[in-house]
Amino acid sequence: MATTSDAESTRSSFIPDEILVSHILPRLDAQSLARFMSTSTHWHSTISAPSFLLSHFSQSFLSRPNASLTLLFTIPIPSASAYLICSAAIPVTSRYQIESVAAKMNIAVPGFLYASSYIPQSIHGFVCLAISLHLVCICNPTTRQAFTLPLPPPLSVPIRARHSTYSFGFDPARNQHKVLLTAFVKPPDGCDGVVEHWVFTLIGGGEWRPISCPITRYFSVSAGTYINGSIYRLASYGSDNYAKRTHVVEFDVGSEDFRLVELPDEVQFDGEEGRSLVEIDGHLGIIHYREFGYGGNGIKIWGLEGNTNWVKRSIMFPVPDWGDIQDRPRLWYKGTIYTGEMMFAPSVSTANGMYCVFFYDITVNLLRRFNIQGLPERCIDTVYIADHVETLLSLPRGSIGRFYREIPG
């Protein structure tokens, strides 16, 4: 029989919902919240409330300087016709120059398109994947939700040859995510190819819309890179094959306008590898690092100031500390994290499944190495890495509801 003291103890241990929602739950990570949602109807309704999800995501974003960085690894597995998505928590505030962390598997997304130039960036916890030549999937690795967009409409030009690229971006003014399809089409009559653009806005009633572009004759030579409201790509532009030059094509995600940015002569691309678009202090830049990782540690960076002014910097990297790794592969630029550090990593893992990621802080010339344990052994042709924030937010089902599915664990 319960005594008065037992009842008082029970009452004193009860935590009001307003305290839970405002002070305790927001401090938990998204994975823990996802587990709590499955324990009861009350927890599910509390955590899935849109106001709480937005508050939790905002707090997760603001607390990042004092927390660990989540790296998202998207790995094409041709033998399984799938993308394997894994994550690893990196202690960004650590000053150790070599550390080891364990990766965990988040989700395996059916469908596969081998495209080494494709870069799946993570935007607000969502990742865009090309799962076939004409199908695109938006997935949330935390909730295991995936949205397959409908097929784009037929192009206006009869197809003889077609090269399509997909890019993922965000309009901060309208709080809208968008997918940009760029299709280079070669007509069967042998005429010069043309470029067509389509946009899919991830909102209720979303559909593919054709958009006009005054830049009609260009060919993308890099994947799209999203930086602060715009998608950038390197492109070969010109009316004469012998006079074509490399430019940057900018797509403003909000206004859906295009802009052509000229490059300096010494930045012209001639098919040589080791050059990438980068983010520098929230702005566009270009990095040339052809020999970095083996043979040399010099890199060149051009940063865009204003609309047309490119400023060049030459830097000598610290020598990478490979430790006991015998095979020292070439390093590739993989992206820029929220601290401003650039990521460099090889394209394959080692025999024991270890994968090295180097963070370079350009302000203090510091290179840190993180050993990622638990990735597939030597079966990685291309590893895409993204600075990722886990979230329980969902894209609106009304826009692509019939294409919605949850991928089992």
Cα–Cα distance measured from residue 183 to residue 213, given in angstroms and rounded to the nearest whole number: 12
pLDDT surpassing 90 at residue 251:
yes
**400 or 272, which is more confident?**
272
Among 183-197, 240-254, 324-338, the range with the most confident prediction by mean pLDDT is: 240-254
Q: What is the pLDDT of residues 75-95, one digit of tens each?
A: 777 777 777 788 888 887 776
Q: Centre a 10 Å sphere on the Cβ of residue 332 and count the other Cβ atoms it contains.
A: 19
* Tens digit of each residue's pLDDT (9 = 90 or more) over 2-56: 555 554 444 445 677 777 776 677 777 777 777 777 777 877 777 777 667 666 6
Whether the model pTM is above 0.85: no
Per the structure block, which two tokens stand in for 144? 């295991």
pLDDT for residue 404 is more than 70:
no
Least reliable range by pLDDT among 150-159, 229-238, 291-300, 393-402: 393-402
The boundaries of every CATH 2.120.10.80 domain in the chain are 63-397
Question: What CATH fold (topology level) applies to the domain 63-397?
Answer: Neuraminidase (2.120.10)
Rounded to the nearest integer, the mean pLDDT of the chain is: 74
Question: Is 155 exposed, middle or buried (CB count within 10 Å of its CB: 0-12, 13-18, 19+)?
Answer: middle
Contact present, 236 and 246 (Cβ < 8 Å) = yes
Percent of the residues in the chain that have a pLDDT greater than 90, as a whole number: 10
Length of the chain equals 409
Under a CB-based contact definition with an 8 Å cutoff, are residues 247 and 263 in contact? yes
Give yes or no for residue 300 having a pLDDT over 80: yes
Mean pLDDT for 217-239 is: 80
Q: Can you point out the beta strands (E) in 187-282?
A: 194-201, 208-211, 218-220, 225-227, 230-237, 245-252, 258-262, 275-280
Over range 130-135, report the average pLDDT: 72
pLDDT (tens digit per residue) in 97-117: 778 888 877 777 776 555 444
| pLDDT at position 59 over 60 | yes
CB atoms within 10 A of CB 311: 12
In this predicted structure, which of 7-16, 120-129, 258-267, 349-358 has the lowest mean pLDDT?
A: 7-16
